[in-house]
Amino acid sequence: MSLPNLGPFSPDSVCRGDALEFLPRLPSRSIDLLVTDPPFAIDFKAQRLNYNRTGSNVLEGYHEIPAGDYADFTFRWMEEAFRILSSTGSLYVFSGWNRLKEVLYSLDEAGFTTINHLIWKYQFGVFTKRKFVTSHYHILFAVKDPRHYTFHKIEHYPEDVWVINREYWKGRKKTPTKLPYKLVERILSFSSSPGDMVLDPFLGSGTVAVVSRDMGRHFLGFEVVDEYYSFAVERLQNREPGPPQG
């Protein structure tokens, strides 16, 4: 099977730079699946002791988007995402509740059809005094063509609430918003096939690229933060299969 044509980018690589600059350079219909956890436009402090983490082990440099720019930012990258997805391509985008309306609006405006609004329930959240603790993320599953898209029904009764624990990575360096290996593995199992091209334009810790490699998918990732890019490259070079232990 020939490698996908990604224009100036090489398959099975990660690139340091801004997704809004890189996405327009990708050829139309060159990506089969896009999975990403973009910035949320919140006042996020990377080394705050969220989830009982040791601050010194959390990488600095989280790249935030100003709240007033978030709607335009989201539409710009989703418009490009629609263009670069194949005719049977899908998008999974993570969102917190605070910017969910911008994500839903941009999906519609960019031309996507939302298939499912998934809930990822994890095992803990940030301590609160005057409101309920947030212990879930939203995952929007959307497609380019609602009549033809890749979906492998790997379970008889796949539900739209996924209970998957965060990974502790005790005593190890990590990014502040790292996706669990098993969560990405589940997405790829449902919505991609071996040899497909998977893109994460906001790569973060590199989990989407690592899981894609381990599952026999081609991958491409963009990351604007130097520390995160280096961390993702290190994980890919490590070549340890499966989720981290301990």
Domain membership of residue 169 (yes or no) is: yes
Domain membership of residue 132 (yes or no) is: yes
| 245 pLDDT more than 70 | no
Q: What is the mean pLDDT of the chain?
A: 87
Residues near 72 by beta carbon (within 8 Å), at least 6 away in sequence: none
Q: How far apart are CA 154 and CA 119, in angstroms?
A: 18
Burial of 192 (0-12, 13-18, 19+ CB in 10 A): buried
CATH number at residue 67: 3.40.50.150
Which residues on neighbouring strands pair with residue 121, listed in sequence order? 136, 163
pLDDT digits (tens, 9 = 90+) for 107-160: 999 999 999 999 999 987 678 899 998 889 999 999 999 999 999 999 999 999
Nearest Cα neighbor of 219 from 230, 231, 228, 232 is: 232
Domain membership of residue 7 (yes or no) is: no
For residue 235, how far is the Cα from the chain centroid?
A: 16
What's the number of domains the chain is made of? Answer: 1
Domain membership of residue 204 (yes or no) is: yes
Range of the domain at 202: 13-238
Banded model confidence at residue 170, pLDDT cuts 50, 70, 90: low
Task: Write down the pLDDT at residue 168.
Answer: 67
Domain membership of residue 108 (yes or no) is: yes
